[in-house]
């Protein structure tokens, strides 16, 4: 735990701006001009770095909390690209780092991967030194990271949750479709909790997709009006 704390404290020392953008993986991510994020702090999750490639934008932080993301070869390559980036800080659930080391036998740059233990499913951790709540969503880890880094304004892009529609799941085409847990109610409950905590402490959290199933729980703002 001591080494873990020191590692996460290094993340805490990162110089950050007043606001950040979290890129989830829903198809509405394609509706935004992401070139506008060139000078912004970006927290990407899972495959969302793909959406930044065309603009040569690197994520400041990258999060993965589900080891299943690494089972697919193409998705695993996205992770490894981030691992080799000189400018991206990577945060994962401790089981993800164990999978990288023990199952995939990856050792290169593994020291830059910060492993966070899970405290359980439902909740919101204000201090990643103690761990995080996984909330059945990697976006929830990103939210706890944004809080931990003391961003005062956080904007969610690509958070859709419309998993019931076969063609409305990801912003990219999955060659092998990942199994879905159908736990949207759990995700929504944790997003609502995150929103309440942000606003109770004078931090602002917004969603940029008015059609998202999370829109009733998180205030909406028009993305293009932020620039």
> What digits encode the pLDDT tens for the residues 77-129?
999 999 999 889 999 999 999 999 899 998 888 888 899 999 999 999 999 99
Question: What average pLDDT does this structure show over 47-71?
Answer: 94
SS3 of residue 94 by DSSP:
helix
SS3 of residue 21 by DSSP:
strand
Give 211's pLDDT tier (boundaries 50, 70, 90): very high
Q: Write phi, then psi, for 7 (nearest 5 degrees).
A: -60, -50
Total length of the chain: 227
Query: In Å, what is the CA distance from 52 to each residue of 30, 42, 60, 171, 209?
Result: 11, 10, 12, 12, 18
Q: In the prediction, which pLDDT does 86 show?
A: 87
Q: In the prediction, which pLDDT does 2 show?
A: 35
Question: What average pLDDT does this structure show over 126-150?
Answer: 96
- What are the structure tokens assigned to 216, written together? 């009733």
Q: Write phi, then psi, for 25 (nearest 5 degrees).
A: -110, 10
Which secondary-structure segment (H or E) carries 115? strand 113-116
pLDDT above 60 (res 33): yes
Which of 126, 130, 139 is closest to 186 using CA atoms? 139
Taking the CA atoms of residue 130, residue 155, residue 112 and residue 180 in that order, the dihedral angle to the nearest 10 degrees is 80
Tell me how far apart the alpha carbons of residues 86 and 84 are, in angstroms, rounded to a whole number. Answer: 6
Q: In the prediction, which pLDDT does 60 show?
A: 95
Q: In the prediction, which pLDDT does 205 show?
A: 98
Tell me how far apart the alpha carbons of residues 180 and 38 are, in angstroms, rounded to a whole number. Answer: 32
SS3 of residue 99 by DSSP:
helix
């Amino acid at each position: 735990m001591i080494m873990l704390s020191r590692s996460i404290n290094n993340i805490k020392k990162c110089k950050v701006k007043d606001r950040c953008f979290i890129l989830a993986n829903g198809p509405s991510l394609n509706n935004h001009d992401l070139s506008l994020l060139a000078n912004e702090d970006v927290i990407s999750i899972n495959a969302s770095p793909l959406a930044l490639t065309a603009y040569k934008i690197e994520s400041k932080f990258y999060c993965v909390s589900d080891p299943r993301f690494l089972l697919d070869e193409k998705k695993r390559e996205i992770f490894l690209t981030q691992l080799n980036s000189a400018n991206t800080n990577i945060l994962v659930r401790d089981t993800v780092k164990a999978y990288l080391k023990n199952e995939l036998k990856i050792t290169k740059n593994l020291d830059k991967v910060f492993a966070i233990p899970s405290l359980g499913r439902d909740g919101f951790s204000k201090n990643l030194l103690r761990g995080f709540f996984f909330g059945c969503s990697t976006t929830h880890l990103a939210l706890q990271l944004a809080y931990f880094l003391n961003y005062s304004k956080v904007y969610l892009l690509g958070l859709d949750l419309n998993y019931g529609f076969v063609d409305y799941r990801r912003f990219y085409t999955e060659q092998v479709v990942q199994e879905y847990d159908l736990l949207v109610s759990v995700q929504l409950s944790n997003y609502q909790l995150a929103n309440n905590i942000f606003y109770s402490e004078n931090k602002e959290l917004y969603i940029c997709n008015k059609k998202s199933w999370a829109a009733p729980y998180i205030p909406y703002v028009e993305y293009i009006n932020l620039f």
